[in-house]
Amino acid sequence: MERRVNRQWRLASYPEGLPRESTFRYEEGPVPEPAEGQVLIRSLYLSVDPYQRGRMSSRRSYAKPMEIGDVIVGGVVGQVMRSRHPGYREGQFVVGLLGWQDYALSDGEGLRRVDLEPGLLPGALGVLGMPGLTAYFGLLEVGRPKPGETVVVSGAAGAVGLVVGQIAKIKGCRAVGLSGTDEKAALLREMGFDAAINYKSAADIREALAQACPRGVDVYFDNVGGPITDAALTLINLKARIIICGQISQYNATRPPRGPRQFHLILAARARLQGILVSDWEDRYEEGLAALAGWIREGRLRYRETVAEGFENAPVAFLGLFHGHNVGKMLVKVADPAV
């Protein structure tokens, strides 16, 4: 059933440290009317992502911060309810950065049509969306894994990490993952990782990693930073590739992180360390999506989603990312598609 109000989550304040529920403000507004050239989209699934924390801060980053009062920036899978745009028709599914709200207008800029059956729509925010593409291009273009090499991924049971480890296996590598519970470690093994470490219960992360990587580390795909990364860097091989994808362990830090400065290890190994941003491959998304979809069809790539129910739960779902409450992609279901 169509709603008469547009529920929105807006930024109430810039958080110091870990965001809280009071970081967000709930509001209701009118459902907007599309002008000529626009479409009205109803949100079905909202994405909650670690990068949103970066937008809640005035710290220098690759994207402009949100202003206080802005609708929370975020990816959405939605359905076109009204179209005054020649490229879209009512009923179509789309994905775009439409924000945490029930309804958004779009002129088509940054919007992508989603050709998935309704039950698979969440995938457009996960394995067949931004996180899957991050894993695909980050690992293959920057990590350049070769058969027989060892690929280590942190945040391994999350949206990006699960895909990284499985692509590493598809490419004939040894895949080693770090995650925060025994259940997640068991899932990684079930998904084909050769070794999985619960970094929270390991007595010594470096020792556990060394055991899991008897031939050292050729590719380290970093989603978390901090002590896990310090440990991984001590095990890199000659010409290792280090992909700095995310640093979630640092996102809520209130002062610059300190820690072992391991750059002599990069020097000694003549390693390459590179930060990545998935949107740098925007012109190749179709290629990435086709490859990921192909592996899913062949049963070589599996995925998980953690779906919170209800618009009101978006802030809690987002906060859960910092406590490891998700397995695979975390998202929020807000409505069923109209038939």
C-alpha distance from residue 246 to each of 123, 225, 229 (Å): 21, 7, 11
The whole-angstrom separation of Cα 261 and Cα 272 is 16
The whole-angstrom separation of Cα 239 and Cα 128 is 31
Toward ligand NAP, which CB reaches closer, 31 or 186?
Answer: 186
Q: Phi then psi for 124, rounded to 5 degrees?
A: -70, -10
C-alpha distance from residue 178 to each of 276, 295, 338 (Å): 20, 23, 40
Render the burial of 12-41: b for 16+ CB within 10 Å, e for the rest.
bebbeeebeeebbeeeeeebeebeeebbbb
Distance in Å, CB of 232 to ligand NAP, minimum: 12
Distance in Å, CB of 311 to ligand NAP, minimum: 20
Toward ligand NAP, which CB reaches closer, 95 or 245?
Answer: 245
Distance in Å, CB of 208 to ligand NAP, minimum: 14
Toward ligand NAP, which CB reaches closer, 237 or 250?
Answer: 250
DSSP state of 223: S
Toward ligand NAP, which CB reaches closer, 248 or 269?
Answer: 248
Distance in Å, CB of 39 to ligand NAP, minimum: 26
Toward ligand NAP, which CB reaches closer, 39 or 98?
Answer: 98
Q: Kind and range of the H or E element at 168? A: helix 159-170
Distance in Å, CB of 137 to ligand NAP, minimum: 9
- DSSP SS3 for 148: coil
Distance in Å, CB of 132 to ligand NAP, minimum: 10
Distance in Å, CB of 278 to ligand NAP, minimum: 4
- Candidates 181, 173, 215, 143; CA nearest to 306 is 181
Please give the residue ranges that form the binding site for ligand NAP (CB under 6 A): 49-51, 130-131, 134, 155, 157-161, 179-181, 184, 223-224, 226, 245-249, 276-278, 321-322, 324, 326, 330
Toward ligand NAP, which CB reaches closer, 103 or 318?
Answer: 318
**Half-sphere exposure (Cβ direction) of 120: Cα atoms closer than 13 Å:** 12
Toward ligand NAP, which CB reaches closer, 43 or 134?
Answer: 134
Q: Phi then psi for 164, rounded to 5 degrees?
A: -55, -50
